[in-house]
Chain A
Amino acid sequence: EAGVAQSPRYKIIEKRQSVAFWCNPISGHATLYWYQQILGQGPKLLIQFQNNGVVDDSQLPKDRFSAERLKGVDSTLKIQPAKLEDSAVYLCASSLSGQETQYFGPGTRLLVL
C-alpha cells in the first residue's frame, strides 16, 4: 500500500514570494490534514478536510495561507506572500475517516529567505 506522497520535498524562496505544496493521501482515506512543524516544536494542525469539506481551519493564517481539496483526494496548500516565520516543515497526513490513526507523508521543508 502506497503511503502519503508529498512534493516538493524541499523549497527555498524569498520573502513575499508565493509557494504551493501538494499532497496525495493514502487511497481511500477520507480525512486529510496539513500540519506545520517549526524547528524544535511538534506538528501544529493548520487545516483538516473530510472528503472535500473543511472540518477545522482554526489555526490557518487565512490572510496568507489557503488550502483546497477539490475532488476529495489530492490537496494543495499555498502560502502567498511568504514570511520568514513560515520557514518550517509542512506535513500532510491522512486517516480513514478522522478517528483512526493518522499516517504522515515525508513533509516539505520550506526555507524563506
Chain B
Amino acid sequence: DQQVKQNSPSLSVQEGRISILNCDYTNSMFDYFLWYKKYPAEGPTFLISISSIKDKNEDGRFTVFLNKSAKHLSLHIVPSQPGDSAVYFCAASASGNTGKLIFGQGTTLQVKP
C-alpha cells in the first residue's frame, strides 16, 4: 500500500531552467508534507515543507505547491543549478501521529551544465 507516490524515477533538466518534481498521496488524513534531498552516501536533508492549510510555500529557489483536492504536491526549483542534482523524496505525515513520516520512492534529478 503505497500511500505516497513519486511516479517519475528520474528527471533531467538544463541548468537555469525550472525543475518540477511531482508527488501524489492517497491518505486524506495527511496534513503536513515535506521534501527531502539526498546526495549519495549521505542521509536525507530537509528542504522545504507545507501544511495542508496552505497551498504554496516558498523558500528562495524552492517552492512547494499543494493541491488537496487532487492529493498532489509539487516541488519547483527555479533556476536549477548543477548542485541540485540529487534524489528528492516527498514525505507526508498526519497530525496526532507523533510525526511519523511516510516517504515516496524518490526522484533522481540531474541538472546538466
Instruction: Give the distance in Å from the alpha carbon of A91 to the alpha carbon of B91 in the complex.
Output: 15
B residues in contact with A42, CB < 8 Å = 4, 6, 89, 91, 103-106
Within the complex, which residue of B49, B100, B106 is in contact with A48, where a contact is CB–CB below 8 Å? B100
Known A40-B105, A42-B104, A42-B105; judge A104-B98 contact (CB<8 A): no
Check: A12 CB closer than 8 A to any chain B CB: no
Q: How far is the CB of B67 from chain A (nearest CB, A)?
A: 21
**Contacts A42-B91, A48-B98, A98-B98 known; A106 to B103 CB distance under 8 Å?**
no
* Cβ-Cβ contact count across A and B, 8 Å cutoff: 58
Q: Report B36-59 CB contacts with A as 1/0, cut-off 8 Å.
A: 100001111110010000000000
For A31, give the chain B residue with the smallest CB separation: B99
For the complex formed, measure the closest distance between the CB of A34 and the CB atoms of chain B, giving whole angstroms. 12
Q: How many residues of A contact B (CB 8 A)?
A: 25
Enumerate 18 A-B pairs (CB-CB under 8 Å) in ascending A order.
Answer: A31-B99, A40-B106, A42-B6, A42-B91, A42-B105, A45-B101, A45-B102, A56-B100, A91-B43, A98-B98, A98-B99, A99-B99, A100-B99, A101-B46, A101-B49, A103-B45, A104-B36, A106-B43
